[in-house]
Each structure stands twice: as structure tokens, then as C-alpha cells.
A and B are shown apart, each in its own frame.
Chain A
Amino acid sequence: MGKIITVQDIVEQKVTLAEASSMAIMHKGELFTYFDEGLTRFVFSNEDRTKVIKLEKTKQDNHFNELENEIYQKASKENRELMAETELVDGFIEQEFVMPIKFGGRKLSMEQIRFSRSCRNEVGWKGDRLVCFDLDEFKKY
């Protein structure tokens, strides 16, 4: 494991996110390590794979994290069931861990494929069901 830092170190730009991707981030007493990345954010997961934190790649704004939180907060109860539980903590997203289908390797039913495609495949396994983890894409298509 590389150097251990805190989210605050990143917020205060003591280390860049690119550098952080090879480090372990200490958050609420847990270590988070690099898991994946999208176009705009890095994703770090804790060791027991129950939680992820998402950090924006650029610190110019916090648009995508705020947007994701807003989508979750405004979602109906029914839609929230189809989303990974999401919270905005100190400007970054803390979200329950779900295994993205690209890593899970499990076959999907046609209903699951339809849901996955409606979320631009930004979905993961929560037990035996799929939920969307990139809420910006939730049922957008």
C-alpha cells in the first residue's frame, strides 16, 4: 500500500487526485483505495467493499458531486430503490458500494439489460439486483 492521506489533503491540494490514485485515503477511520474512474471523477472504495467515495478530477467546481446528490435527494422512494444510496459529505460523494456489471461478470436478464441501458450501463450489483451508481445517468435513455 502506498502513502496514506486524508480527503482534506486532497481538498487542500496537498496532493493531486492523480497522485492520490496510487495512495490510500483515510476517511472516517477507514482506508479507501483507488477502485475505478469515470470521465469526471475518481472512485475509491473501502477495504470491505461496502462504501465508495467519489472525488472530482478537477477542483474548479464540484458540479457532478452536487448534481448526483441532488438527483438522489429529489428522487421518489421508488426510484431510490433503483439507486445506490448516496450522500454528499464535505463536498464529495459517499455512496454504498455496488459491483459494476463490467467487473461482476454475471449474466443479465433482458429486464436487467433494459434497465442497464437506460442508465448508460452505469449500474452495479447490489446482491441479486441492479442499481444505478452514476445517478446523472439514471433512466436517462
Chain B
Amino acid sequence: MKTKDIITESIRDNIYEFVTGKKIEDLIDLYNYLATKRCMESHPTELGKKFIEEFFGNDRWAGYINERKKEHTSIFSYLDVDDTRNSALTFLSFEIIQLVGKGIADKSAKDRQLQKLKKEKETLKKELEQALDDSVDGGVFYKDDGFINLYEVLIRHNMVKERED
């Protein structure tokens, strides 16, 4: 394997470890900070500080930013920082997309579960109403029949267990 590939893969793994457990909004903010002029105009957040320290080293990052602020700039001396930054942004965006995708998938699964529960509740309500209607004869509600009818609905919906005694 080429040295460059080893380093690129290592950066990817390190990014994955870094983003694990972090809030997606914080990661998006970090991405925007590193990818835009914000990194030259304002201080990083706590998460940004940690990222800079781990991925670039504070001294190299400060030198890189100072160099980039100059009117006639050459980042030749900071190609390593620039290269790490580009790779980090690529992998950071990839992980953010993964997290957003997972969030959407989780939400869809949750929505489907809610729909299913809603439908089950409606069916239960209808069946209970029907059971009550079936227990009325000539305007008289027969408690024994009513109990049996409701009991059967509850068993069907696994809300009570059928007694064997």
C-alpha cells in the first residue's frame, strides 16, 4: 500500500472516531467553520478547538491561518495542513451525510411504527364499539354477553390472556 493511501485511510478512521457520539448540528457547524472564511475570522468552538488540536496541531494551524490571511500568500510551507484539511473535510462531510441518512431512516422507522399503533388503536376502538352493540338486544344491555364480547376482543388484541380455569 502506498504511504499516501495509508495516511488517507488513517485520517478517515480518525475522523470516524472523532465524530462518534457527537451531535450532528455541532459537526455541521464544525464543517462550516473549517470549510469557510469563518476559520480566519473567528475563534473555534470547544469542539473546533479539540479538532484543530488533534488533526492539525495548534501551532501548525495558527501558522496556516496567519499565512492564509496575508494578501500575497503562499501556503507551500503548510501543504501538510492544507492536505489534512482537505481530506478531513471530505471525510467529515461523508460522516455527516451518513448521520443525516441514518437520522432520516430512524425517523421513517419511527413514523411507520406510530402509524401502525394508530391503526391498531382505531381497530380496537371499532371492535370494542361493535362488541358493545352486539351486547344490546331490544334496548337492553346484557352484562354477561357484554363481558364475553368485550373479553373476546381484548384476547384478540393480546391485551389479556385467556384464562384456562
* Chain A residues close to B by CB (< 8 Å): 100-102, 104-114, 116-118, 121, 141
Contact = CB atoms under 8 A, between A and B. Distances in A.
A105 B6 CA distance: 7
A66 B101 CA distance: 57
Given A110-B14, A141-B80, A102 B55 contact: no
B149 interface: no
Interface residues of B, number: 21
Interface of B: 1-4, 6-7, 9-11, 13-14, 54-57, 60, 77, 79-80, 83-84
Given A114-B60, A117-B80, A108 B3 contact: no
A114 B6 contact: no
B80 A108 contact: no
A43 B77 CA distance: 29
Contacts of B11: 110, 113
A114 B55 CA distance: 8
Nearest to B15: A110
User: Which 9 residue pairs of A and B lie closest in terms of their CB atoms, listed nearest first?
Assistant: A117-B80, A108-B10, A102-B3, A107-B10, A121-B3, A110-B54, A110-B55, A110-B14, A107-B13
